Structure 1
């Protein structure tokens, strides 16, 4: 398929490239006309209905250079992505973008991109690696915890005659006030409160311990300085509380009746099922850890140069992704830093080792994929999309077509290709006991004294190797 952008790529030092891009004159003209139509929607020109001003009239009225500038601003993000795709590079960090002069009529637009790219790896051994693998097991404590959760889900709240204590539930009405004056939002009726749960203002629940149904009590509290309602922060308040009832949580016995309520014939059968699922979960954990360890073993055998500037760029990418995720959860950057009790430079410094590890792994995965001639078929893409398609109530093919139209299908193909590359290494690896692997790590290696700090060690030396 013909593309609007032509590129040439020049490799630069320290895992950077310069991409010289040229947007064809035809694409520039189409973008100019589209920008003129968009601008014409807001223009009022005698003789034309609003929104119906022809592009040539818009260009004549505003000026070709101004409309072209708008067209370039609108088209550049799309042309940038196409240029990166054409260059076949995997960018790391923010680009340095330099746009040439606005072209004359019939001339192309040129721009250059200078950016860090994924480093390259010179592979060492990556097949038949001996790597420690743990044994999957059933965590009896986890089984007990899940059975206890089942009891909690079936628990009932029963009225009691004794005074309330931590762990009990009280139903209350309350009215809050500042110096005798009620404040907005300070009143509640029929509120169920679990004493000791820590869900209310500090000190509130503790002052209700010892109450009984029908009691009235005044609770004195001070709102925390970081309370969610700014107007209440740091203020002392009184709450007139009326206790309507006191109830205790009653858990069902851990017996066959509990098992029957969960669809099993006996407690032994229920426990066996919970244990089986716990073991399957642990097997998945062990498998994931083994695959990661195998990949790291292949990385240790490879040579990968990762410039410090590239690590810094990836570190900022990781931080930006975290902030984006937090924003969707309603957590701001400042809130996160306050909760973490760290500065942004501290967080970036702590993330640097993970950033470098990621870059090394990605370089080795790509090198293995190339060495093994790994490709991704359409059937493999559809299989990878099956779980998501089921959740979204669509078909894998429809989801594939949607991702393709959004320009996101290549990302999925890259993920599948990477997984297949790791499969090659993991399936050929020879598992050994974790204790044996740990003992080997303590052995002397001939290259260790000459090893560059921060670089992975070379091949492990063992007697007879």
Structure 2
């Protein structure tokens, strides 16, 4: 097989490939073995038609498309490896020649990973990490812990207010016609959370236990379901129960309930140390991000749009996975927020482009500085993951292998080592170190 690569412009080029006639013949054999199983020829059972009779009846050309489908993926991969390019999108393939007894010739227009021209990346200034915890931060953490350990008390005598969790039935309709997803029974809704269509939760505020009410809202013009966008809907709502948070007192009893300490003062001292450790980690992470951002800004790189769109898809998938851990999914989120998938993807594009740029620049720095990942690095990473997830190292390795993620693990470790290199070669700003 012969393959050549010619750059057309920026990140776009043409891959020209010529495949031996022998491989074309082998692909035609495979195509025949596939289609003969379904061929109907009088006098022969399915799958038993001799090749010459099949070709005489249907023509050898009837096998060409199946043969191309069989041969093209493998020879394209070989050509990519042979020309040492890195495609970032599906190629536009133009078959120039495919016939029995002749070489297979095709051209593929391919978008490839862009070249990166590095700017300054050593000696980058960034604020020093800090672990100092203020009294305000300590009090805010105590208040958050109060909220977490609050009890939900059923309220019978008072109407619902913002912050309450109400248990409701609702049945929605537009012009008297019910719509999909507009009905539920004994649904728990936190008022003020913004989970439902704008205007819904505000109208539930003030309802009392046992009340019925028609809640009238208008779907946003950008609502994902086109048949509902901009339409007025009526929800028949019945309120079954109102639950309100009752915060525990901040005293020694609270400390005993939530920790191993006997007094609130002891607990506060320990909590301050924990916050300091967390703040140190967050501060170090922020410092790393600041350095990477500045290094990326100093570099010159033109990012192909397919790379951005691919990263958007990754971000949407990750977002959906996080929602599922909270008992929701992407469809429910879009329904409640009144957004379309396109709206969400558009919101993510800026961050996606930044991620792609940062990773490309870090990859180039790794090449320039010869930052490599050894087998020992991978083994240590697997050991860390095993410790984190309380699984054996072999289990973690098997899970990653099954998901095809072992290769990406090596890339992640290399990126992290590159960031460590940048931090080690950076400068702390005097103002932030005070």
The answer to whether TM tops 0.5 is yes
Q: Does the 8 A contact of 2:311 with 2:352 survive in 1?
A: no
1:263 equivalent to 2:259? Answer yes
Question: Counterpart in 1 of 2:39?
Answer: 43
Write the distance in 2 (CA, Å) between the matches of 1:418 and 1:184.
45
Q: How far has the Cα of 1:335 moved from its partner?
A: 8.2
Change (3 A) 1:236 1:174: closer
Greater Cα offset, 339-348 or 288-297 = 339-348
Q: How far has the Cα of 1:287 moved from its partner?
A: 2.8
1:152 maps to which of 123, 142, 147: 147
Change (3 A) 1:64 1:209: same
Question: Counterpart in 2 of 1:453?
Answer: none
Question: Counterpart in 2 of 1:254?
Answer: 250
Q: Does the 8 A contact of 1:10 with 1:17 survive in 2?
A: yes
Q: How far has the Cα of 1:295 moved from its partner?
A: 3.9
Per-residue CA deviation, residues 253-305 of structure 1 (Å, 9 max, x unaligned), is: 22333333333214344444544444444333333333344345555666x4x
Write the distance in 2 (CA, Å) between the matches of 1:218 and 1:76.
64
1:79 maps to which of 75, 79, 86: 75
Write the distance in 2 (CA, Å) between the matches of 1:191 and 1:344.
26
Write the distance in 2 (CA, Å) between the matches of 1:267 and 1:136.
26
Q: Does the 8 A contact of 2:27 with 2:71 survive in 1?
A: yes
1:115 equivalent to 2:113? Answer no
1:136 equivalent to 2:130? Answer yes
Write the distance in 2 (CA, Å) between the matches of 1:285 and 1:150.
20
Question: Counterpart in 2 of 1:234?
Answer: 232
Give unmatched runs, 5+ long, in structure 2.
322-328
Greater Cα offset, 172-181 or 427-436 = 172-181
Greater Cα offset, 114-123 or 334-343 = 334-343
Write the distance in 2 (CA, Å) between the matches of 1:409 and 1:123.
28
Q: Does the 8 A contact of 2:192 with 2:201 survive in 1?
A: no
Q: Does the 8 A contact of 1:311 with 1:356 survive in 2?
A: no
Per-residue CA deviation, residues 326-375 of structure 1 (Å, 9 max, x unaligned), is: 7885459x989973899899879x74x9748844x555434433333333
Write the distance in 2 (CA, Å) between the matches of 1:101 and 1:43.
26
Question: Counterpart in 2 of 1:418?
Answer: 415
Question: Counterpart in 2 of 1:294?
Answer: 291
Write the distance in 2 (CA, Å) between the matches of 1:311 and 1:183.
41
Change (3 A) 1:176 1:397: closer
Q: How far has the Cα of 1:131 moved from its partner?
A: 1.3
Question: Counterpart in 2 of 1:455?
Answer: none
Write the distance in 2 (CA, Å) between the matches of 1:21 and 1:294.
43
1:369 maps to which of 356, 359, 366: 366
Q: How far has the Cα of 1:172 moved from its partner?
A: 6.6
Change (3 A) 1:67 1:409: farther
RMSD: 5.0
Write the distance in 1 (CA, Å) between the matches of 2:200 and 2:346.
34
Write the distance in 2 (CA, Å) between the matches of 1:299 and 1:15.
19
Greater Cα offset, 18-27 or 171-180 = 171-180
1:67 maps to which of 63, 66, 82: 63
Question: Counterpart in 2 of 1:221?
Answer: 215
Per-residue CA deviation, residues 187-229 of structure 1 (Å, 9 max, x unaligned), is: 8776666565566674577466374x6xx64423224335899
Question: Counterpart in 1 of 2:325?
Answer: none
Change (3 A) 1:322 1:237: closer
Equivalent pairs, count: 414
Write the distance in 2 (CA, Å) between the matches of 1:181 and 1:97.
49
Per-residue CA deviation, residues 85-129 of structure 1 (Å, 9 max, x unaligned), is: 332223345544333311433x442323333433434556544x1
Give unmatched runs, 5+ long, in structure 1.
437-465
Question: Counterpart in 2 of 1:209?
Answer: 206
1:432 equivalent to 2:429? Answer yes
Write the distance in 1 (CA, Å) between the matches of 2:40 and 2:265.
81
SS of the residue aligned with 1:209? coil
Question: Counterpart in 1 of 2:326?
Answer: none
